[in-house]
A and B are shown apart, each in its own frame.
Chain A
């Protein structure tokens, strides 16, 4: 028996809303067992893409396969393969956590005995077991979000879709959710994560896809993506006294200079030339260099570069 290597296969999907093309011939795949981050500025087509992948709306063109099931031809089987955590917490407020979990179990055809076992396990791990018989109406946002995650996990799906799972949550809930996602992934669950949190994407994701104006702008590992913007390398330098930023900006290899507290942020065109000229400049002025760093671009910078600051 061969092991499936592709969890989600997206080919040329397009979605229009009247005259606006929200998603334009987008193609990518998500491999089994990876955490795939899906990033993009507001209005770039992220939510529309995720709604098409989760079968909530239909694409106008293109195809989506989830664990081999065609979303157009067999949406029910495709949806059975996934757990979905939408951005807004949306459990039924008039029901208790346990009733919400049982509802999810019934919708995903989990046998009652197994459902009872899973509910205990999951609510215990999410720190909600002692509140399971309380109506969700009284829950905090963090508790809500943990419950939604629990509902999505109940049927042990091979794929988990999460839209901004930690947005606006307290530190405790964020840590709990992140730890749970890491554990699930280690156990083989494929995770499709939509987030605005670059640090979260950098730490969690094996690969990241960036969507801009309805089209995929880049897909790669976070490290590879950072290398693609190497040309906008930067030097952070501190001297033993103040210097004129215009004089620094005029040095060979330097593109732009700004001051950040006691350090100068020097964007460079050519890192070797720029370091040489900054060091020569300091010596010529009789100054001492207190520190000189060449930080790699962060995923934030990659995102801003690729999206052109659309957000």
Chain B
């Protein structure tokens, strides 16, 4: 039947994504989390570290912007909808849970990928050039999927309290910023620091951003893209499977 097929479910996922953008994304707090926090972190770091090159700093801003925007709203949509009792309606509609999760990821992807135009615009305005535009575009697309899926994965615990998820989300997101080579080049870290950094998907995106802006990289570009894609697939599949298990407990 039309509604059960993959095409039907993808169509519904797009409907959910459009609804999320309309209700949750075009709001002030998203702009604050997605743009202002990375911008302030960037400015603070730029003032405190006068020896870092501009491309290194801009690649860090680009990575933070994508990461914070893609994970700003996606973790709290499920608890918000459970609290507002709109989730029950969605759960009774002819949309599968993986399609519902995919719709949430899609909205976050669109917003996250779109907002990277701001730091890229800043880079161009500062006279920098993008040496590898294709690698940058591919990195942004895979990174947006990866971080959006991570955001949705953070909302797996079956609570209907958005503050609980926000707390969990901040506990994971902020440490990732500091271990992913955004502020400190990974090469300068001790061996244990480099090992931890290699476990963060943000490390690979920051490396792609640096490569795209003509900076030296920690890993070969192909490794960065493959690792980011692997994280994206793992987060995507885990998010869909785990939500299938926990969603009924939220309602």
Contact = CB atoms under 8 A, between A and B. Distances in A.
A76 interface: yes
Interface string B72-114: 0000000000001110111111111000000000000000000
A288 to B, nearest CB: 59
A93 B80 CA distance: 12
B133 interface: no
B3 A76 contact: yes
A84 B251 contact: no
A90 B12 contact: no
Contacts of A75: 94, 96
Given A76-B96, A77-B4, A107-B12, A92 B23 contact: yes
Contacts of A99: 22
A58 B96 contact: no
Given A94-B23, A95-B23, A103-B15, A84 B248 contact: no
A108 B94 CA distance: 7
Contacts of B11: 106, 109
A84 B88 CA distance: 10
Nearest to B4: A76
Contacts of A161: 92
Nearest to A89: B85
Interface in A174-222: none
Nearest to A58: B248
B59 to A, nearest CB: 36
Contacts, number: 84
Contacts of A51: 248, 251
Contact-residue size bin, chain A (C-beta under 8 Å from the other chain): 20 to 34
Nearest to B27: A94
Interface string A268-309: 000000000000000000000000000000000000000000
Interface string A51-94: 10011111000000000000000111101101010101011111
A79 to B, nearest CB: 4
Interface in A25-54: 51, 54
B47 interface: no
Contacts of A55: 91-92
B222 interface: no
Interface string B20-54: 00110000000000000000000000000000000
Contacts of B95: 76, 107
B3 A80 contact: yes
B19 A92 contact: yes
B116 interface: no
B99 to A, nearest CB: 9
A79 B88 contact: no
Contacts of A88: 85, 88
B251 A107 contact: no
A56 B9 contact: no
B8 interface: yes
Given A56-B248, A79-B93, A84-B89, A74 B4 contact: yes
Nearest to A109: B3
B15 A107 contact: yes
A141 B11 CA distance: 32
A14 to B, nearest CB: 15
Contacts of B89: 84, 86, 90, 151
A165 to B, nearest CB: 14
Contact of B92 (A54, A93, A106): A54
B1 A77 contact: yes
A20 to B, nearest CB: 14
A156 B246 CA distance: 31
Nearest to A94: B23
B88 A106 contact: no
Given A79-B94, A107-B94, A90 B84 contact: yes
Contacts of B3: 76-77, 80, 108-109
Contacts of B86: 90-92
Nearest to B16: A107
Contacts of A104: 93
Contacts of B248: 51, 56-58
A103 B2 contact: no
B91 A56 contact: yes
A99 B15 CA distance: 12
Given A94-B23, A95-B22, A77 B88 contact: no
A161 B89 CA distance: 12
13 contacts: A56-B92, A56-B248, A57-B251, A74-B4, A76-B9, A77-B4, A79-B93, A95-B22, A99-B22, A106-B15, A109-B2, A109-B94, A161-B92
Interface of A: 51, 54-58, 74-77, 79-80, 82, 84, 86, 88, 90-95, 99, 103-104, 106-109, 151, 161
